[in-house]
């Protein structure tokens, strides 16, 4: 099979997530990066493309130029990865979707709800796939947890606790012009109205919903901006009410010293509980009520088919962030190959897409709305 020709918007010099996407796209040999509009200035875009070995005539000054030129080429890109700040997502995605080019977009969906609704219309009208890289859904033990809950191993879900704690914004890293990531992620014009709740809280919300199969119905959010002068939240406590009666709590923070990438999920049902932590992702703790706690390992005894399908190495050989991210790209490649044949591949049921993106945007908007009303309960 020929590799899928991939383009990239954003992800140039000093962009963390662009490099992650490129590694993830290469791990299974499914994609070739052949074109890019890698920066907001033509010069930086050309320099970044040259550093990645792209042909000079396929290093574009803008995503509009890239979409038009690549759609006209016989060997043009089949898919594009959008790895820009949030406010660019909608415009870039629409440019490629309109030309039948599949879109793999970083999360959250957009910066604003208006942009999200505009993009949703474009996705629904397009003859192309739209995949959102909520990469933690690609971890094998997360797929296993989802399987176990769907199979009824926990019984009816009662309590969901999820947290995502970091410390990298404990000080005003956005000031002084030395930290590009901090600058745009704390700028509401580029990130959107949510700070930590949009950047990492959206991951926590998505993970809780993906694993349990439940949707948040109402929430009460208390958002803070602890660092003086910061224009978006850097900490949030959110109470959740799920459809069907389950209750939950979500904490996200980027001002928690000692926490690096502390994404953790705990789910409790009438028959048992599950615990998983991203910083030790090859383990899933399962405790049937009244029985000893059991450690389930990636690739080990008791691994479900869904977990095994996204594992690459034997048990005991750690897999983590890059492999989980690569599972999203591998699924995207499988779906794109099916689309070439006019088929819808069932793998799309495991890949976050437009609906997950819209749910995330509604979550962010509801958190801000609730917090503005002194943590009043609001309906999503």
**Does some domain include residue 334?**
no
Length of the chain (residues): 380
In terms of domains, do 97 and 162 share one?
no
* Same domain for 293 and 181: yes
294 pLDDT band, cuts 50/70/90, is very high
Mean pLDDT of 65-89: 98
Q: What is the DSSP string of 24-80?
A: HHHHTT-EEEEEEE-SSSHHHHHHHHHHTT--GGGB-SSHHHHHHHHHHSTT--SEE
Half-sphere exposure of 347 (CA within 13 A, CB side): 20
Same domain, 285 and 169: yes
Which domain range does residue 283 map to? 139-314+359-379
Task: Identify whether the C-beta of residue 274 lies closer than 8 Å to the C-beta of residue 285.
Answer: yes
Asked if the model's pLDDT at residue 1 lies above 90, the reply is no
User: What pLDDT score was predicted for residue 40?
Assistant: 87
- Does residue 319 lie in a domain region? no
- 253 and 363 housed in the same domain: yes
Query: Total domain count for the chain?
Result: 2
* Cα 234 to Cα 174: distance, rounded to the nearest angstrom: 12
Domain boundary among 106, 128, 150: 128
Give the residue among 262, 267, 274 at the shortest CA–CA distance from 247: 267
Residue-wise pLDDT tens digits, 15-62: 899 999 999 999 999 999 999 999 989 999 999 999 999 999 999 999
323 in any annotated domain? no
Does residue 35 sit in the same domain as residue 90?
A: yes
Q: In angstroms, what CA-CA distances link 98 with 72, 127, 351?
A: 13, 8, 21
Q: Compute how many other C-beta atoms are within 10 angstroms of the C-beta atom of residue 308.
A: 13
How far apart CA 38 and CA 23 sit, in angstroms, is: 16
Q: Which of 85, 106, 128 is the last residue of a domain?
A: 128
Are 106 and 156 in a shared domain? no
pLDDT for 287 equals 98
Q: For the segment 107-155, what is each residue's pLDDT rounded down to a tens digit?
A: 999 999 999 999 999 999 999 999 999 999 999 999 999 999 999 999 9
Structure confidence at residue 195 (pLDDT): 98
Nearest to 160, CA basis, from 273, 49, 54 = 273
- Supply the CATH number for residue 156's domain: 3.30.360.10
Q: pLDDT tens for residues 157-205?
A: 999 999 999 999 999 999 988 899 999 999 999 999 999 999 999 999 9
Q: From 43, 58, 33, 34, select the one nearest 13 (Cα to Cα).
A: 43
At 229-265, the pLDDT tens digits run: 999 999 999 999 999 999 999 999 999 999 999 999 9
The pLDDT assigned to 150 comes to: 98
Question: How confident is residue 227, by pLDDT bands cut at 50, 70 and 90?
Answer: very high
CA 280 – CA 263 distance, rounded (Å): 10
Say how far apart CA 296 and CA 293 lie, in whole Å. Answer: 10
Choose one of 68, 101, 128: the last residue of a domain. 128
Whether residues 179 and 208 fall in one domain: yes
């Amino acid at each position: 099979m020929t590799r899928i020709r991939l383009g990239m918007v954003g992800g140039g010099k000093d962009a963390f997530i662009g490099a992650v996407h490129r590694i993830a796209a290469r791990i299974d040999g499914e994609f070739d990066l052949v074109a890019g509009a890698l920066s907001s200035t033509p010069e930086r875009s050309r320099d970044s493309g040259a550093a990645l070995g792209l042909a000079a005539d396929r290093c574009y000054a803008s995503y509009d130029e890239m979409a038009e030129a690549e759609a006209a080429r016989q060997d043009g890109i089949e898919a594009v990865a959008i790895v820009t700040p949030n406010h660019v997502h909608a415009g870039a995605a629409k440019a490629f979707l309109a030309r039948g080019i599949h879109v793999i977009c970083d999360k959250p969906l957009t910066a604003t709800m208006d942009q999200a609704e505009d993009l949703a219309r474009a996705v629904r009208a397009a003859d192309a796939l739209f995949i959102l890289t909520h990469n933690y859904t690609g971890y094998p033990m997360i797929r296993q947890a989802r399987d176990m809950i769907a199979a009824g191993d926990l019984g009816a879900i009662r309590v969901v606790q999820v947290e995502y704690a970091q410390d990298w914004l404990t000080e005003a890293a956005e000031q002084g012009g030395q930290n590009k990531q901090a600058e745009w992620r704390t700028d509401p014009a580029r990130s959107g109205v949510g700070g930590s709740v949009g950047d990492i809280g959206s991951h926590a919300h998505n993970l809780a919903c993906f694993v349990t199969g439940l949707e948040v119905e109402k929430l009460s959010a208390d958002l803070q901006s602890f660092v003086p002068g910061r224009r978006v939240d850097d900490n949030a406590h959110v109470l959740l009410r799920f459809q069907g009666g389950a209750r939950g709590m979500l904490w996200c923070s980027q001002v928690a010293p000692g926490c690096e990438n502390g994404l953790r999920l705990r789910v409790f049902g009438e028959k048992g509980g599950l615990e998983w932590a991203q910083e030790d992702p090859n383990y899933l703790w399962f405790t049937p009520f009244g029985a000893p706690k059991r450690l389930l390992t990636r690739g080990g005894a008791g691994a479900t088919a869904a977990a095994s399908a996204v594992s690459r190495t034997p048990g005991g050989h750690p897999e983590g962030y890059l492999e989980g991210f690569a599972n999203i790209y591998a699924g995207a490649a499988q779906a794109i190959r099916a689309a070439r044949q006019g088929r819808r591949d069932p793998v799309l049921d495991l890949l976050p897409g437009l609906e997950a993106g819209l749910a995330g945007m509604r979550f962010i908007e509801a958190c801000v709305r609730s917090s503005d009303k002194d943590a009043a309960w609001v309906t999503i």
